[in-house]
């Protein structure tokens, strides 16, 4: 018995093929009962033609793997399985997807109503997200680690290590761009604030 539970959706031919391979799969195949609690949902792209099923898949927090022909697959889910697929490819995509999910969870930090994924360089809130640069990730981490406002000189020292091609204007520019991304996507004008003492995250208490 495996510890990983995978729920299968798709045409009868897709489901029956996986059931025939059940003995050799490195996961448990769950029925399509919507009350199940799977670790992974493996679905054929044709399953999305059922609106109720589509809503269930898209709203579910489990890992989602979409199977189909190469021309039909998109990057909207955690992973794609190009069909036809070998037994090895099926086991591998499930294994890699779950490992990636665990890694991402370990690299994620809660920032008020947001989730900062350091590995993917992504700041998300519910279903919306923005992509970040490496410096923007470092800036958010720096603000999180400090309870008091941080001066531009200190930011320059800690993030840029006083690089010869950086100055306080570089700090201002990066923070401006980060703020603009957040305001444009989330309409949040208070994510990063500044005072006479420096920059800080709005959730922080200034003492």
84: preceding bond cis by omega (within 30 degrees)? yes
Query: SS3 of 121, please?
Result: coil
DSSP-derived pairing of the beta strands 5-9 and 40-44: parallel
Q: Whats the size of the chain, residue-wise? A: 207
Tell me whether domains 5-106 and 108-201 share a fold: no
Q: Which residue stretches of 60-128 are H helix?
A: 87-106
pLDDT tens for 128-156 read 899 999 999 999 999 988 878 999 999 98
Q: What is the pTM of this model?
A: 0.56
**Contact between residue 41 and residue 7 where contact means Cβ atoms under 8 Å apart:** yes
**Where do the structural domains in the chain lie, given as residue ranges?**
5-106, 108-201
> Looking at the domain 108-201, which fold is it?
Arc Repressor Mutant, subunit A (1.10.10)
> Looking at the domain 5-106, which fold is it?
Rossmann fold (3.40.50)
pLDDT tens for 3-24 read 899 999 999 999 999 999 999 9
Query: Which position has the token pair 């069909």?
Result: 83
């Amino acid at each position: 018995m495996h510890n990983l539970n995978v729920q299968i959706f798709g045409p009868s031919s897709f489901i029956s093929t996986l059931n025939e391979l059940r003995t050799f799969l490195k996961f448990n195949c769950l029925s399509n009962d919507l009350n199940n609690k799977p670790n992974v949902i493996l679905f054929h792209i044709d399953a999305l033609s059922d609106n109720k099923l589509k809503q269930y898949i898209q709203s579910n927090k489990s890992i989602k793997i979409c199977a189909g022909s190469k021309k039909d697959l998109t990057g909207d889910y955690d992973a794609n399985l190009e069909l036809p697929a070998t037994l090895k490819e099926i086991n591998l995509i499930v294994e890699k997807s779950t490992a990636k999910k665990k890694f991402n969870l370990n690299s994620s930090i809660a920032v008020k109503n947001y989730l900062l994924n350091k590995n993917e360089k992504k700041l998300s809130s519910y279903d919306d997200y923005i992509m970040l640069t490496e410096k923007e990730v470092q800036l958010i981490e720096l603000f999180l680690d400090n309870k008091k406002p941080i001066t531009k000189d200190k930011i320059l020292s800690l993030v840029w290590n006083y690089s010869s091609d950086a100055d306080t204007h570089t700090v201002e520019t990066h923070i401006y761009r980060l703020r603009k991304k957040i305001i444009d996507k989330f309409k949040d004008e208070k994510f990063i604030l500044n005072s006479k003492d420096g920059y800080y995250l709005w959730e922080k208490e200034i003492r």
